[in-house]
Structure 1
Amino acid sequence: MNWQSKATALADLVTDPDSRWLAPVARVPRHELVPRWFDRDGSGQWALRDGPSAPEAWAAAAYADRSLVTRVGILHADDADPDDRPTGKPTSSATHPGLVVRMLRHGRLGAGLSLLDLGTGAGGLTAYACSRLGDRNVTSLDVDPYLVRAAGERLAAMGFQPKMITSDATAHVPGSYDRIVCTVALAPGPGLRPVLGALQAGGRLATTLARTSLIVTGWKHHNGDVVGRVERDTAGFMPTRSGDDYPPTLAELFALARDTEGESRSTGRYPVVDVANAWELRSMLEVTAPGIEVGYESSGRERTAYLVHPDGSWARASAEWIDPPQVHQSGPQKLWSVLERIRNRLNAEGALPLLGANVRITPDGVCHLSRGQWHTSMGA
């Protein structure tokens, strides 16, 4: 495979001509980090793709600015058989290079600074960082021992020898670092404490917050607070996990939401929306009512959205195309009403207060957001 020309084209696509990340992207043979991956087939199921057996497709996938799913549920693509059709959520991927570069930029890296890549995955960010900073300054951490081992071996074959660590970052992060850049989404609260503790005073954190698309950056002060802002940029990363897979979804509540008449029935004000892909709405929903899980179905012109919460609340909104939806809700929280209040604010003010908000993360992991008269806390 003539990967050098493809890597150069990718670097031209995802960086600027004067970017310090141009050369690292052009130098890294990304295909070697992702020999196998999962992709959706025609029926929407996960199907294995094997790079060496289809070199042209391998090159096209590896040097496109796209993410490649490398693990679904507990099944690694490296261990899968061609007939396997894994179910569940993706649990690891090779993040698309453009987003990797953006996160590295948010990290404000420089010569001689130590970096923790939190969320090794396939090793792409680690490879770019090693190429620019030198591998002695780079540590890569993941909860999955296989991912750490496989990425370490593939990076070594490229000539990179970063420190590789297997650890649950919500419980313990060994070492201390000038910069921590996360390609997993961190949940505010106790699980954030180990990451904050591993950041040196004067160091910088760049991460997203779980169930949001918010990129939070900040500098650590001597009192332990990380102070910064929500960047005017967005990203979607898988949340951290502590075990082999994510906890089960709220399947029983989703079943209720699909099949049950709600305690409260009404006509909604706004059309049905796929909340998961309306990133700013989804982010504000998590900030306002943390823990909500979302679902969406469409068939022809019929669209249905679901919201469920661990406290037993659920909501279903159904409509044809952009007609006002019929809304069913039950439980202590009226979840669709919460979403509609957010949409009211968006329509009335033209924007939500998230992007550009001030951030202060205290050592207990609580994330305080504020902008003008608006303020809230996550993870208390």
Structure 2
Amino acid sequence: MNWPHHAAALAGAATHQRSRWAPAVAATPRHLFIPRWWGRGSDGWELLDGPADLDRWLESAYRDTSLVTRVGPLHADQATPSDRPHGRPTSSATLPSLVVRMFQHARMDDGDYLLDVGTGSGYGAAVAARRLSDEQVTSVDVDPYLVEAARSRLAEAGVGPTVEAVDATGELPFTASTFDRIVATVAVRAVPASWLTVLRPGGRLVTTLAGTSLLITAEKNRDGSASGRVEWDRAGFMHARAGDDYPPGVGDVLAKAAEQDGDEVALGPYPIVDVANAWDLDSMLSLKAPDIEHSYEDDGERRVALMAHEDGSWARATAVGDDRPTVHQGGPRRLWDLVDECRTYWLTQGELPVRGAEVYIKPDGTTILARGKWHAKLS
């Protein structure tokens, strides 16, 4: 199998040829970390087996894209061809260019010790170990199976970073001030206090905020806090989870939103927007009211946007084209009003404040974003 040719092409797509990360990507056999994965099928997720189709395996593994390796509690490695899971993705092999960008945001030096949060397939840990050394890279994941599989595949790829089964949202089994850099390829609502504990003063962490496309970088201060910024770059990762799967979604509330009359019905001031795909708007909304789920349909004429939350709040906005929508809302909160508040701020201020905001992280993990008169507190 001529994988080095494909890996070299991937290195060219994922970073530039003079980058210190390019040789690491070119030397890493990504296909070893993704022998099986899930693709979208007409009746749920469909299992794809690499060794059964070598050409497709190489084409998929060395394309700069993410591949889903776990849906709900079901690993692709442990599935049968007849399985058709319908849950949410719970692990994946992240697209290599994003892995590299996260590492680049960490501004790693040759002697740095790295904590890689979110082992997943193990590919990111392999690239980091090629760039640094086995001894300088520690990777953690909440899933014991993924950890064992990654250890085996890392060894097959010729690298041996430390890989441990750890819930990174809780206490970490490492000595204080162990790491120079922390890079997370899972998203958190607020930075766990344990990350600051194991990060050395002057060390740098890189992560994303759950439910948003906000990528934050921060350096640890001597008082145990950290200071940084929301980067102008964008990135999105799966939420860090503590258990085997994510909590059940709010499909029943979304179904309610699609059909029922609201406790309140009004004409919205702005045309309907697909919130989940309006990244800055969605990020601003998620900071204000996390864990809202969205659905959006556009048949070329009629547009329908649904919102729902586990507290029972829901909203439905319907309109023809760019007309002002009729908005039904129910439950304890008015979700579409929150969207309109964000859009009003955008129009009056010229931009949303989240990009480029300053970040301050207290030693207990409380994360504060601030820009001008605006601020958000996450804990």
Paired residue for 2:5?
5
Structure 2 residue identity aligned to 1:235: A
Matched, 1:287 2:294: no
1: CA distance, partners of 2:275 / 2:317: 12
* Cα shift at 1:220: 0.6
Contact 1:36 1:51 in 2 (8 A): yes
Once the two structures are aligned, what percentage of the paired residues are identical?
52
Contact 1:7 1:28 in 2 (8 A): yes
Show structure 1 runs of 5+ residues with no match: none
Paired residue for 1:182?
184
> In structure 2, do the counterparts of structure 1 residues 287 and 199 end up closer, same or farther at CA, with 3 Å as the change threshold?
same
Paired residue for 1:322?
322
2: CA distance, partners of 1:187 / 1:48: 31
1:121-270 superposed matches below 5 A: 121-175=120-174, 176-188=178-190, 192-270=192-270
Write out per-residue CA displacement over residues 151-210 of structure 1, whole angstroms, 9 at most, x where no aligned residue: 110001111111111011112222131111000001217xx2222222222211100011
1: CA distance, partners of 2:118 / 2:29: 20
Paired residue for 2:70?
71
Of 252-261 and 239-248, the range deviating more from structure 2: 252-261
> In structure 2, do the counterparts of structure 1 residues 276 and 44 end up closer, same or farther at CA, with 3 Å as the change threshold?
farther
Secondary structure in 1 matching 2:183 = strand
Secondary structure in 2 matching 1:202 = strand
Paired residue for 1:108?
107
Show structure 2 runs of 5+ residues with no match: none
Write out per-residue CA displacement over residues 12-42 of structure 1, whole angstroms, 9 at most, x where no aligned residue: 111112211010011101011101000112x
CA RMSD of aligned residues (A): 1.5
> In structure 2, do the counterparts of structure 1 residues 186 and 53 end up closer, same or farther at CA, with 3 Å as the change threshold?
same
Contact 2:118 2:141 in 1 (8 A): yes
2: CA distance, partners of 1:304 / 1:200: 49
Write out per-residue CA displacement over residues 64-94 of structure 1, whole angstroms, 9 at most, x where no aligned residue: 1100000000110011111211111000000
Write out per-residue CA displacement over residues 108-159 of structure 1, whole angstroms, 9 at most, x where no aligned residue: 1111211011000011210110001001100010000011110110001111
Secondary structure in 1 matching 2:151 = helix
Structure 2 residue identity aligned to 1:236: G
* Cα shift at 1:5: 1.1
Secondary structure in 1 matching 2:343 = helix
> In structure 2, do the counterparts of structure 1 residues 145 and 342 end up closer, same or farther at CA, with 3 Å as the change threshold?
same
Paired residue for 2:358?
358
Secondary structure in 2 matching 1:254 = helix
Contact 1:174 1:198 in 2 (8 A): no
* Cα shift at 1:253: 2.2
Write out per-residue CA displacement over residues 192-248 of structure 1, whole angstroms, 9 at most, x where no aligned residue: 222222222221110001101100100011111110000000111000011110011
Secondary structure in 2 matching 1:141 = strand
> In structure 2, do the counterparts of structure 1 residues 44 and 361 end up closer, same or farther at CA, with 3 Å as the change threshold?
farther
Structure 1 residue identity aligned to 2:368: H
**TM-score w.r.t. structure 1 length?**
0.95
Secondary structure in 2 matching 1:376 = strand
Contact 1:217 1:229 in 2 (8 A): yes
Paired residue for 1:33?
33
Structure 2 residue identity aligned to 1:89: R
Write out per-residue CA displacement over residues 305-333 of structure 1, whole angstroms, 9 at most, x where no aligned residue: 22223333211112233332221112332
Secondary structure in 2 matching 1:312 = coil
Structure 2 residue identity aligned to 1:135: D
Paired residue for 1:45?
44
Secondary structure in 2 matching 1:169 = coil
Contact 2:43 2:84 in 1 (8 A): no
**Runs of 4+ in structure 1 over 4 Å off:** none
2: CA distance, partners of 1:343 / 1:160: 49
Contact 1:358 1:369 in 2 (8 A): yes
Paired residues, number: 376
**TM-score w.r.t. structure 2 length?**
0.95
Write out per-residue CA displacement over residues 315-366 of structure 1, whole angstroms, 9 at most, x where no aligned residue: 1112233332221112332110110121122233332111111000112221
